[in-house]
Amino acid sequence: GIQVEQSPPDLILQEGANSTLRCNFSDSVNNLQWFHQNPWGQLINLFYIPSGTKQNGRLSATTVATERYSLLYISSSQTTDSGVYFCAVHAGNNRKLIWGLGTSLAVNP
Amino acid sequence: EAQVTQNPRYLITVTGKKLTVTCSQNMNHEYMSWYRQDPGLGLRQIYYSMNVEVTDKGDVPEGYKVSRKEKRNFPLILESPSPNQTSLYFCASSPGWGGGQPQHFGDGTRLSIL
């Protein structure tokens, strides 16, 4: 089945720094979503982005479907950005999202 | 406000005592699903439902039951919980299934089975 790999697994930033998180997938996908899991465990839907580029405030995402990767860009990071960022895809006839293991981000003041 | 609501948010219980985690969505979504999240294993699908009275197993269905009697509700039932079902559980919904259908998640339920 399709594999989803995220990098880096862990990231520590100083407040104000920029970062890029990567999601690679091993096959064609129909959907791709980025989520932020906050320290309380809630999953926040950041982007639905099977292809192209989207921006929402300090966050933006780009998916290059033909090359099988997606990037999540965080600019001017804040301590509230801390948590785990997940990429999840839907491929083929599977009736589920297939998840990467996440990037754990800590933003220090 | 469009949302997926799970209850309870936290539960500590004992082995063998039946429990139900409720999930309700107010968006008239056809598709609903349950996932569990465990350290190092990520999120894995337990069961899903394509519509009322249509349910199917995901990757880790053992020890769980579900029902879909109404479109808005999709409860997760643990008939005889065991410690290996201690986990963080998420309910999700989407308008349908296929291209162009982002999933919406509840806030999660932390279950501890002693």
Interface contact flag, A33 B104, Cβ < 8 Å: no
A46, A78, A72: which is closest to A60 by C-alpha? Answer: A72
pLDDT at A23: 98
| Nearest chain A alpha carbon to B87 | A41
pLDDT in tens, A22-47: 999 999 888 899 999 998 899 999 99
Beta bridge partners of B34: B47, B91
Chain A hits for B60, CB-CB cut-off 8 Å, are: none
Which residues, including other chains, have CB under 8 Å from residue A57's CB and lie 6 or more apart? none
- Nearest chain B residue to A31 by CA: give it: B99
Model confidence at A96, pLDDT cuts 50, 70, 90, reads: confident
Calculate how close chain B gets to A102, using CA atoms only, in Å: 8
Q: Which residues of chain B have pLDDT under 50?
A: none
- The Cβ of residue A29 has, within 10 Å, a number of other Cβ atoms equal to 22
Nearest CA in chain A to B42: A101
